[in-house]
Structure 1
């Protein structure tokens, strides 16, 4: 059989974030980059491959505790490995409530299986399924030997169409399908979860084993980051077992908001909260946010968005992705709480949504 495209070429697609089998090995990574990646993750930013590498290295040299995995980890990993027995395309599902670590768990499984499969996350637009399928097949056939792709997909609605398109691409290349081509790891976010499911289900409640893991990690972070840990809201919410009291305390700044004459930064914080409360995983571009507050910004100089968003800065996360810098609230529960506090202050959700949508749509 002819060789497929080089692996380096297969990794250059725009739709997939491909995890290399030897990701970061032999690379020099600046300690400031390591520090920023770790801080952003524990504050509530989405996980990056670097977070798993940092934790793995710290554990191996005895300077850190293991990366926290929730109780569904072993079951999820085993379900994926079981699918290696079946040719063609199969799906493993992970159901999780917003903000309970579902995406992090899924990515940790990919990280640990990166030498067993060709692992990737579907990050590009799902409107062009044909191109997505093309890139997946490209990854499957890359190099001198075909290798099963483990693909993390968040959109449950596209699975059937994506599977059909992948099989068409495989047929066009006259590839033999006696081995598994793709295993979809479908990460499904749901507020209400089914009980007694055969699938892995993560909820906003920690087991005793998970609590112990978080206690150990908290001690490590406090030693390493001291008072900065007070703003590690993403971590702290889970460590406190999703405590509403903790969330209400960190969101107190929203209780001082008044119905009228709200500064632009207050309006923006309210809109991001509303957006994340109703559409978990959503975001605004940093450029959009800066454009919105620039006419009502009395801070001169080259300051970051988070500096300009005081006193809401500790509740907001800015993170870098291939398509640019993105902005969201630190946790789904924080977004919900801030939205409720705005309502209590007399600011209707409909007004918040209309005012901001009018601005962003016009741009």
Structure 2
């Protein structure tokens, strides 16, 4: 029955007790499959099945119990929740995640994404919902869904986030509450946050940080492996490195001693192939190669004679590689046994003078040029363009490009990115990265080499040609002109040329702004030809202000001329008179243009932030504020500036008091703007139709701001308290504290506490309401109004509730939802 339910779910690979029913494997086949896993092949459901069948189940790793406990807790929540597993390359994170699913398959519909499918969040969400709802037509006990995303964000940007939203939307469509838990397994080189309640961390330094109980289990399992595979276990590098009773660094060095100084010319094909495999597995962990591609690379020419096996052809390198079968697709692959081995081999190759740039070029020419498959494109993108995120700041370039640039120079980097741009001729990513490399690698302390900026412009325009009217792609061209201008104005050059560069940058940023205005959010797109983006691109507006502010960075003559023209002084004299009418027209409108962008950022940074836990970089507000001061006048000081109060722990909103808020709203209001209706509410007259005010507030928000704010977190501006309306700053409270004590489990008692401070809790007014999924209603002053839940995971079922009532720019928000007991 389980097979009948899951056979139509094209995007999912479902594991269930009957998955391998009827499959017969002979002893030799079982031995080979499990030996490959211990060598380092990626885990598959079959590995867990055979391990149990052989009486050698895998060790339940450190972190296993926490993940399992979180999942079992979330299964009562009848909504979409997420558990994160962050694991360093080679630490066994994927195996741990699949082990949890394997052990929970009787109580959950356990599934992961199928191999080689189009990663469309909407399709995946529909399949997950169908998987759960089809239980209505079976006699099986209703079970929640448990979905594993194994490093999915590396395959498609922000897949975990967009999929979670798609699942919420699907649940609302069927008007039902079903527990769906996402186990988001993410490979990360570095960990920064370690205090997240729903996150488990798995470190690669296994032998140094192993719990005693885990080590004992590994010791016992190791003895069983040695007994069953007595002639092979020394080559089980994947297992031995994770085992932890050895020094993994010393072990890796020993097994990699087959790397000897390579021949620079006429290197054997096996040496070339192994260098490629090691390089790719280091800089794009988790990548693998098709076995038949590797075999074709080894064969210089077709032969009618029997070819040696792949292992025989690879010679001394064969022990460091695994050729394995993916039983989901029945396809054979090759990979390096462990990321630590790949890292060590690449280090040795570099120490012996082998050019990593040449190895990368060899990979592009021999594995990508003839068959530019989606998986190879993604691997190449990871190697050449994927920038590491370190504490919220991204590296300028990918790790590989940084290493090659430092060791082999700029020319090799540009050669590689040009080659990738040619091979993947329809992709804008590679020419965009190449343009960035050209303008960012210029030494600003030296005189300008115009060729660098010309090349940057050429490749930026090529990226735009491949993906027209995409504002994020267009931003690269604008950045080229901006950096050219900044470089030029470091020295005393011709003022007219500086103004020409400034005009080019401003024009490019304006075109980027227009493209951003036309882009739609994912949820709004019906026409496949429309550019989509989950977030609004404000970089054009910011870049415009950065170029405008450049006229004031020094007292050089060129800047004085720029100042005169940009503020339309002496426009008919000297330099200004030489400018074309088009440029002078733009300059005359400069003050208004700057003010418009300042007002945008003032609202954008006050009403929203990237998400609940992160703030926007302070330099955005600094540019907007300083530019307004230079061109328009002293900006209003209604709000505290975050960058001026670095020593003060700021709350979730910049608004300090209700008076400040009302002053800000008054300045921003227009006819039929959401600010206007907020003022009506804050200055409420008894007898006004609150439901009508709230409805118009929401409609005005959708008209004015929805396109710009999209998926950003809307900051709560004020709350309903026993003293009336108050800002969060006045209450000394943050949204995260408001949610503490929320009763997420319908069966949970109300014995939990609310916010941290009793006096704050007493100031808040608890509002009565009701959930009629997916709608949340509030009963306020003899009026029923619709409110948004601050935490959708608290909307579990229909019923009477109570909550704290707050407002963001869109309208009313329900915090700390608790179900009321009937009777």
Distance of 1:266 and 1:24 partners within structure 2: 39
1:213 and 2:217 aligned = yes
Q: Which residue of 2 aligns with 1:342?
A: 349
Distance of 1:237 and 1:296 partners within structure 2: 38
Q: Would the aligned equivalents of 1:98 and 1:191 in 2 still touch at CA under 8 Å?
A: yes
RMSD: 2.4
Q: Which residue of 1 aligns with 2:662?
A: none
Q: Would the aligned equivalents of 2:6 and 2:131 in 1 still touch at CA under 8 Å?
A: yes
Distance of 2:302 and 2:229 partners within structure 1: 31
Q: Would the aligned equivalents of 1:258 and 1:345 in 2 still touch at CA under 8 Å?
A: no
Q: Which residue of 2 aligns with 1:161?
A: 162
Distance of 2:195 and 2:305 partners within structure 1: 56
Q: Secondary structure at the residue paired with 1:227?
A: coil
Q: Mark the CA change 1:339 to 1:169 in structure 2 (over 3 Å): closer, same or farther.
A: same
Distance of 1:352 and 1:209 partners within structure 2: 43
Distance of 1:90 and 1:120 partners within structure 2: 15
Gaps spanning 5+ residues in structure 2: where?
371-823
Partner residue of 2:182 out of 181, 184, 189 = 184
1:122 and 2:129 aligned = no
Q: Would the aligned equivalents of 2:9 and 2:131 in 1 still touch at CA under 8 Å?
A: no
Distance of 2:18 and 2:36 partners within structure 1: 24
Q: Secondary structure at the residue paired with 2:238?
A: helix
1:148 and 2:144 aligned = yes
Distance of 1:69 and 1:257 partners within structure 2: 41
Q: Which residue of 2 aligns with 1:291?
A: 296
1:226 and 2:230 aligned = yes
TM-score scaled by length of structure 1: 0.89
Which structure has more relative contact order (CA 8 Å, sep 6+)? It is 1
Q: Would the aligned equivalents of 1:94 and 1:187 in 2 still touch at CA under 8 Å?
A: yes
Gaps spanning 5+ residues in structure 1: where?
none
Distance of 2:9 and 2:332 partners within structure 1: 20
Q: Secondary structure at the residue paired with 2:182?
A: strand
Distance of 1:192 and 1:6 partners within structure 2: 40
Q: Mark the CA change 1:178 to 1:356 in structure 2 (over 3 Å): closer, same or farther.
A: closer
Q: Which residue of 1 aligns with 2:252?
A: 247
Q: Would the aligned equivalents of 2:60 and 2:96 in 1 still touch at CA under 8 Å?
A: yes
1:43 and 2:32 aligned = no
Count the aligned residue pairs: 351
Q: Would the aligned equivalents of 2:82 and 2:184 in 1 still touch at CA under 8 Å?
A: yes
TM-score scaled by length of structure 2: 0.41
Q: Secondary structure at the residue paired with 2:258?
A: helix
Q: Which residue of 2 aligns with 1:200?
A: 200
* Segment drifting more, 37-46 vs 290-299: 290-299
Partner residue of 1:131 out of 120, 123, 128 = 123
Q: Secondary structure at the residue paired with 2:147?
A: strand
Q: Mark the CA change 1:306 to 1:132 in structure 2 (over 3 Å): closer, same or farther.
A: farther
Q: Secondary structure at the residue paired with 1:71?
A: coil
Q: Mark the CA change 1:87 to 1:306 in structure 2 (over 3 Å): closer, same or farther.
A: same
* Segment drifting more, 208-217 vs 42-51: 208-217
Q: Secondary structure at the residue paired with 1:269?
A: helix
Q: Which residue of 2 aligns with 1:8?
A: 4
Q: Cα offset for 1:14?
A: 3.5
> Per-residue CA shift, 1:124-149, capped at 9, x if unaligned?
44542332223222222234255321
Distance of 1:22 and 1:356 partners within structure 2: 41
Q: Cα offset for 1:266?
A: 1.0
Q: Would the aligned equivalents of 2:171 and 2:178 in 1 still touch at CA under 8 Å?
A: no
Choose 1 or 2 for highest CA Rg.
2
Q: Would the aligned equivalents of 1:10 and 1:135 in 2 still touch at CA under 8 Å?
A: no
Q: Mark the CA change 1:119 to 1:6 in structure 2 (over 3 Å): closer, same or farther.
A: closer
Q: Would the aligned equivalents of 2:259 and 2:348 in 1 still touch at CA under 8 Å?
A: yes
